[in-house]
Chain A
Amino acid sequence: EAEVAQSPRYKITEKSQAVAFWCDPISGHATLYWYRQILGQGPELLVQFQDESVVDDSQLPKDRFSAERLKGVDSTLKIQPAELGDSAMYLCASSQGQLYGYTFGSGTRLTVV
């Protein structure tokens, strides 16, 4: 069964450092999402891509977060500088555009110390 690949699985970084996460969606999925999930809460959308274009980044803290999907395939989410409050699970998901194709990766667990 096709999967959404994310790396790394775990990341510990010091505050004020830069950190990056990578996501490889299911082949052929045009829509890619980055969600942030704080412990004990549901996931919240950070950014949505359609191919290489950003469709929705209204909840992305743009002063420190950036996301790109240059060739419309894999994607990178960056935080610079990281803050203690950024500690969370960062989930990537992809979709063919139909809801049944909305699949999540296993996430990257970020801890900022």
Chain B
Amino acid sequence: GQQLNQSPQSMFIQEGEDVSMNCTSSSIFNTWLWYKQDPGEGPVLLIALYKAGELTSNGRLTAQFGITRKDSFLNISASIPSDVGIYFCAGLVKGAQKLVFGQGTRLTINP
């Protein structure tokens, strides 16, 4: 089936540093999404990407939809303590409304 490979699996950074994570797939997706999940909560949508090559920002977050439609990256600038959590990429299956998720990137920030 369709799988998303997300990397890195975990990151340990200092507060104020920039963060970069990415997601790749052997399948083409028409939409890429990035979610953040806090412990014990459901995922919350951060950024949605609808077109190949699209670059979208949401505050300190920037994400891009790869030209091949098989990858995406998420950058976080000037990290702060509340950025701690697990970040998931998700691809929308063509012709359906269901999402396929990556395995997540766990972000830990040292103050």
Contact = CB atoms under 8 A, between A and B. Distances in A.
B43 A104 contact: yes
Interface of A: 4, 31, 33, 40-45, 48, 55-56, 91, 93, 95, 97, 99-100, 102-107, 109
Q: Say which size band chain B's interface belongs to.
A: 20 to 34
B88 A42 contact: yes
A42 B97 contact: no
B23 to A, nearest CB: 10
Interface of B: 4, 6, 31, 33, 40-45, 48, 50, 88, 90, 92, 96-99, 101-104
Given A56-B98, A103-B45, 8 more contacts: A42-B6, A42-B88, A42-B103, A44-B101, A45-B99, A91-B43, A99-B92, A107-B40
B31 A41 contact: no
B80 to A, nearest CB: 23
Nearest to A3: B42
Contacts of A95: 97
A48 B97 contact: yes
A100 B50 CA distance: 11
Contacts of A44: 101
A48 B92 contact: no
24 contacts: A33-B98, A40-B103, A42-B4, A42-B103, A42-B104, A43-B88, A43-B99, A43-B101, A45-B99, A48-B96, A55-B96, A91-B42, A93-B42, A95-B97, A99-B31, A99-B48, A99-B50, A100-B48, A102-B33, A102-B99, A103-B45, A106-B40, A106-B41, A109-B40
